[in-house]
Chains A and B, each alone.
Chain A
Amino acid sequence: MSVKDTNVFERGSDVADRENAERDLPVTVRRDVNTVLAGFGGQGILFMGKVIAYAGLLDGREVSWLPSYGPEMRGGTANCSVCISDAQIGCPLVTAPDALIVMNQPSFEKFVPTVKPGGVIVVESSIITAKVECNNVAVHYVPATTLAEQHGLKGLANIILMGKLLAAAGFCSVETMTETIKKIVPARKAHLIPKNIEAIELGMKA
């Protein structure tokens, strides 16, 4: 039995852009995004990745979420790769991201040099003091942990940073993100939905 791919060589991002133009969707909102999220275990790195992947799912797109797993997660670094595309995801492991969120110094050192030219980096600047030295990427420094504490959003630094990435990389619409938060926050924690939405708005403006 042979299964043939009917979409051979026709599903590049330019095709997706064309289709989006036909559907009157803003082209930038439907961009392919290959994201790396990295930090310490416990900062909500994997959850942040799930939110981004879930937003892609709600938009009816192809998505993949690949966590780092194993001993590095216990007290060490945690990272995950998230891909959103209109074409089938090739390699779910992102080695050259066009969007990066870093939440600790080791991740900053490891992943900043891997970002593609023209990419976006969001740096948790209340934890990381280093600055990005290359000038072909857009860098956003957000003191997310400090902001979270000031606004009564303790523990939502990750969501603030994701809000910034949403504004900078436009991986989905704000409406989709709001819907995603409503669906992904478990029922027993429903009281946290407004806080998460507030954190996203705060991040988008940061």
Chain B
Amino acid sequence: MSALSRSAASGDAVVLLGAGGVGKTSTSAALGIAAAASGRNVVVLTVDPAKRLVETLGLGSTYPSEVVAVEGLDVTGAGSLHATMLDPGHTLTSLVDEFAPSPARAAAIHRNRLFQSLVTSLSGLSEYMAAERFRQLLADPRFDMVIVDTPPAQNGVDVLDAPARLTDLLDHRLYRALLAPRRGLLRTLNAATQLAARAIGKVVGASLLSDVVEFFALFEGMDRGFRDRAAEVDELLASNRTRFALVTIGRPEPIRTATWLSDQLRDRGIVPDCLVVNRRLTPSANAPRSAHPAIVAAIDDHNQLAESETEVLNSSGLVQGYKVVEINESDEEDPLAALIQMSTQL
């Protein structure tokens, strides 16, 4: 059993973080297969999966936020494997409907132009919604294991920070000041802030600023719900139930990103259980001297790259500091077969 599988066995959730293009989604799916084979009821939450993987997992033809069973696997043993894709707009809308004091207020929020731009835009929102969706899945009685495939790099850490950022925003004096006319807190807005607000209004347009005011005014009274929810997600992420793993390949850039992520996590009191190194090339035996030049060239090319990769990994402080799970580059062309092969190395 690899350090990654041990990590999964000791918790209720595994969050995988790493740079783009290192195979995070595949690793998540393979870990899902391995955990299901050991009897867990697993759901894999993917944030931005490649189309081919979406099809492999059977997510293609369904509504993104739905949870679907992954078919075509004979290795699931006593457990089960489901997958779901994050739909940030849908998750936010469901949150608003849950916390709005009345259907009329919910409808007014849905009509607000900024809210509409929020639900249709991917950037910024998806991280908070990934955290919320994670909480929903962890509470879902159908599952006892949640695997989270985070967005690449920086955005992965944003998933952890999003709940707290929202709380900070709700606590911000300007936010309170924007609601001041209703709450009689006008005095909290000092002269300098008033001036700055006016100047910013000039630059970004007064109508944008008034939309912002309307936006936050509509949320009045709902902040309690959002705040409690944010605290709950924060607690889940900090608890022992949630395990973390870093994913990389043997290249300097993703290793640098993983090092940065490692530092960010440790700053938040989180120590990842292991470092997964994907697509590892293993050096091959040399070709016999009499071999055809094409064979010699193929083996030389491979060994040159494999050695260079080993040098990059060995010179990295990150690799020294973690239990390393190496996954060999797959020779399966069928994506599902490749995932199963990957899962056997976990």
Q: Decide whether A and B are members of one complex.
A: no
